Amino acid sequence: MPGLTGLELLREVKAVSPDVDVILLTAFGTVEEAVKAMKDGAVDFLTKPFQRAQLLRVIRKALEHRELVQENRALQRRLDDLLREGNIIGTSPAFRRMMTLVDQVANSSATVLIQGESGTGKELIARRIHERSPRRQGPFVAVNCAALPEGLLESELFGYEKGAFTGAAGRKEGRFELADGGTLFLDEVADLAPVTQPKILRVLQEGEFERVGGTKTLRVDVRVVTATNQDLAVLVREKRFREDLYYRLNVITVTAPPLRERREDVAVLAQHFLRVYAAKNNRHLDGFTDEALACLEGYSWPGNVRELENVVERAVVLARGTAVEAGHLPDNVTARAAVLEGGAVPGERPAGDGGAAGERFFKIRIGASLAEIEQRVLEETLRLTGGNKTSAAKILGIDPKTVFRKLKQGEADDAAAERPPDG
């Protein structure tokens, strides 16, 4: 082609349409040119003159390459779907109760507030609500209210006009506009700034707003689903969250149970994540050893399903045989399981050596306050570890600094480790 070499044309084509398969034909082929062509994205390279059979072979190879690429993309999409759905599978009673409510509210137009600890899969629940709703053909748009500063969050939600602020070189649609006809998911809604809350309330009540720097009133048809790991009712009492907005958001509340309350689901979730990450890392793993599975089921999972996913991904990378073993799991997971089994904490002094590592149960008075229960649990755990605060923190799934702070503030007795258990 006049003005362009074959390699230059190849680069132009791939820049415009990366998925196009290109076979480069040239009358002056060299090994160096062939290597360059393949590096730049050519499927194959033919030097003139060539036989018909050569051309057919190259075309067949290009078609096989395209089919392989499509299969790989389909597999990647499936893996991504499996991973996205992974946090929302289970068979436990707590999980089934939640999913029954989710499927009931999905068909309505009511706003939904999803409450739950970090890592319990609140966004996946919101997606499930959207996908089971009459709006499923519309967009699902997610915004993390805690991830953006106050000024940026407002322009992200409502959009802005050209010149609205420094750097606003043109008009931009906000997330409410992008979610028109679908669902807008506001994660960490408790972090909404006071100045933004009445604007959200107006959209919920009237379905209208103005872009930042604009005067034209825009109307949208959006279902709003929100989520938080905080208690909004407490924030309302503390005057940190608008009461009228709270009632608008809290038409229906879905509570995502923490993983420690759905232990029956640990094994099925772990196996699911194993399958996903084994495929992603091209590993063949059949499952978990009994010891490894006991460790997973015995751990308290303060980080919930997200923590379990990370632990399994790590184990897949470290595993060398056909199964994940206990040695492939983090120390805090195996230490907790050892305690539940009545054994010594790895690396600490064994039972009978001043500690009580063989103890599994203790009594709590019915009617005891939460503070009393926390104090007792910490003291018994310190006794279990022979007073080792770092190991106690690992067992409880908390930061060691928290243990030291509670002891310093008198919320637990450091001397408890030296006293015999009272049963």
Lowest mean pLDDT among 114-118, 167-171, 348-352: 348-352
CATH class for the domain made up of 259-329: mainly alpha
Is the pTM higher than 0.75? The answer reads no
pLDDT at 77: 63
- Check whether domain 353-423 has CATH 1.10.10, yes or no: yes
pLDDT digits (tens, 9 = 90+) for 163-212: 878 778 888 899 999 999 999 999 999 999 999 999 999 999 999 999 99
CATH class for the domain made up of 6-84: alpha beta
Residue of 168, 224, 217, 233 lying closest to 201 (CA atoms)? 224
pLDDT digits (tens, 9 = 90+) for 386-413: 788 888 888 888 888 888 887 877 656 6
Please give the backbone phi and psi of residue 66, each rounded to the nearest 5 degrees, phi first. Answer: -65, -45
Please give the backbone phi and psi of residue 287, each rounded to the nearest 5 degrees, phi first. Answer: 160, -145
Structure tokens at 378: 């910490």
Q: Is the pLDDT of residue 423 over 70?
A: no
Contact assessment for residue 285 and residue 322, using Cβ atoms and an 8 Å cutoff: yes
Q: Candidates 3.40.50.300, 3.40.1160.10, 3.90.1310.10, 3.30.460.80; correct CATH number of 93-257?
A: 3.40.50.300
Contact assessment for residue 311 and residue 333, using Cβ atoms and an 8 Å cutoff: yes
Listed by start position, the domains of the chain span 6-84, 93-257, 259-329, 353-423
Burial of 29 (0-12, 13-18, 19+ CB in 10 A): middle
Same fold: 6-84 with 93-257: yes
pLDDT at 351: 38
